[in-house]
Amino acid sequence: MRALCAEFPGSYWRHLDRDRRYPEEFVARLTADGFLGALVPEQYGGGGASLSAAAAILEEIHASGGNGAACHAQLYTMGTLLRHGSDKQKDLWLPAIAAGDVRLQAFAVTEPAAGSDTLSIRTRATRDGDEYVLNGQKIWISRAEHSDLMMLLARTTPLDKVGRRTAGLSVFLVDLRSVGSGITISPIRTMINHSTTEVFFDDVRIPADCLIGDEGSGFRYILSGMNAERILIAAECIGDARWFISAARQYASDRVVFGRPIGQNQGVQFPIARAYLATRAADLMVKEALALYEAEDPCGEEANAAKLLASEASWEAADMCLQIHGGFGFAEEYDVERKFRETRLYQVAPISTNMILSYVAEHVLGLTRSF
Ligand SMILES: Cc1cc2nc3c(=O)[nH]c(=O)nc-3n(C[C@H](O)[C@H](O)[C@H](O)COP(=O)(O)OP(=O)(O)OC[C@H]3O[C@@H](n4cnc5c(N)ncnc54)[C@H](O)[C@@H]3O)c2cc1C
């Protein structure tokens, strides 16, 4: 990964960022070299690797100055398909994904009215004979324009007709190439180059065998996928933090002011050392979460903790790096401002910091439920 990433230097990502363009060449290269099929079992032609391998792939992309958001969904949605998909679905999709013929890069959960309250989503999937009919709206669905498949969470039973709020949700693997005109995908321009979109479903008919697992059990399937997502995003944050620390070290050694390198001043050294230690500590939590996930043990606490600690470590490192670069931190050519913008996302998406703190307070520490 390190060698491959070296072929896509900061200037590549900088130009994409300026034009808000998808890193087509980079994704094609990752696909051709088998990295995006890493988690597909060997029997389907994939790499048969563990989630740790996916974490290493994404960490290296970020540590090199790049951004894995162009392609990370294929790695974190894979667990839901592998653990809960039918043999027929696996036979149909996994060889094609492993061969790079099909991309599974869109993961559609968030809705404008529901926000963090996932159980309130309103996109409906209604059974009609051999088909489901989709109606509703999703927001912030990244890479929908660059993916063949979309993993979609929708309500199959209305909220007021289920006993528990977690029931009545289902997961579908939708082939975006064959859904016809009922689907509208509108790009959203954001402060980072993220290819994110709004998706509207208007009487979209999909075959009933797009359903993953049992109807109504989708929230459970999605949760295990979300743990993988949180761990992999945490690994991306560790990569970002490594990039910021390395850039800060280099600049602090090279930049001479008042007749000495600025890095000779302890006021400059200490924030770098602090960011480094915060990153090391967060990385230990990422490793612990990975070990639990791979053993198929409960890892909700650790996956959430890894995501929170790593996103805060990368943000601390980003702020430190910008400060140490002085005015040059704001110049595009140093990539610091781009990486600074990019790493800020991770305290909001895929889950915001407050939601993690609330999960820990309620489910780990047993404090009174707040909402
Ligand atoms: C660039 C980008 C890409 C994304 N990609 C995807 C994608 O591919 N697929 C997908 O499904 N989603 C995606 N998302 C959506 C992302 O997961 C959500 O933005 C995130 O979960 C937060 O939801 P929200 O934006 O609706 O914020 P809200 O839920 O509206 O929350 C706003 C703020 O209020 C806080 N808050 C809300 N309720 C409480 C409470 N009870 N207590 C304390 N604080 C609270 C939150 O922590 C947050 O800081 C993406 C978002 C962005 C910005």
Report pLDDT for 2.
96
Output the CA 195–ligand 1 centroid distance in Å.
17
The atom of ligand 1 lying closest to the CA of 106 is 8
CATH of domain 104-215: 2.40.110.10
Name the CATH architecture for the domain at 220-364: Up-down Bundle (1.20)
In this prediction, what percent of the chain has a pLDDT beyond 90?
98
Residue 247: the pLDDT is 98
Helices 218-254 & 336-344, crossing angle to 10 degrees? 150
Summarize the confidence of residues 20-36 as an average pLDDT. Answer: 97
Identical fold, 104-215 and 220-364: no
**Residue 194 CA, closest ligand 1 atom number:** 1
Q: Which CATH class is domain 2-99?
A: mainly alpha
Pocket test for ligand 1, best of 17, 20, 140, 357 (most atoms within 8 A of CB): 140
pLDDT score recorded for residue 230? 97
**Interval between CA 112 and ligand 1 midpoint (Å):** 10
47: pLDDT strictly greater than 90: yes
Contacts of residue 78, defined as CB under 8 A and 6 or more positions apart, other chains included, come to 39, 40, 104, 228
Q: What is the CB neighbour count within 10 angstroms for residue 330?
A: 12
* Residue-range domain boundaries for the chain: 2-99, 104-215, 220-364
Q: Which of 171-185, 237-251, 308-322 has the lowest mean pLDDT?
A: 171-185
Which tens digit of pLDDT belongs to each residue from 90-128? 999 999 999 999 999 999 999 999 999 999 999 999 999
Q: Please report the atom of ligand 1 found closest to the CA of residue 109.
A: 11
Counting from 1 in the atom list of ligand 1, the atom nearest the Cα of 115 is 26
pLDDT at 224 over 90: no
Q: What is the mean pLDDT of residues 246-263?
A: 98
Using the predicted structure, report yes or no on whether residue 180 has a pLDDT greater than 90.
no
What is the distance in A from the centroid of ligand 1 to the CA of 226? 14
pLDDT given at position 315: 98
**What is the model's pLDDT at position 101?**
96
Residues with CB under 6 A from ligand 1: 107-110, 115-116, 140-142, 190, 194, 196, 345, 348-352, 354-355, 358, 371
Task: Identify the pLDDT of residue 141.
Answer: 98
| Per-residue pLDDT, 261 | 98
pLDDT value at position 181? Answer: 86
What is the Å distance from ligand 1's center to 348 Cα?
6
pLDDT of residue 45: 97
Q: Report the distance separating Cα 157 and Cα 161, nearest Å.
A: 7
Q: Using CA atoms of 123, 183, 71, 53 in order, give the dihedral in degrees to the nearest 10.
A: 50
Segment 16-33 shows an average pLDDT of: 97
The confidence score (pLDDT) of residue 39 equals 96
Q: Is the pTM of this model over 0.85?
A: yes
Burial of 278 (0-12, 13-18, 19+ CB in 10 A): buried
Please calculate the CA angle 160-162-168 and round it to the nearest 5 degrees.
110
Query: How high is the mean pLDDT of the chain?
Result: 97
Q: Whose CA is nearest to atom 3 of ligand 1?
A: 140
Q: Closest Cα partner for 213 from 169, 178, 179?
A: 169
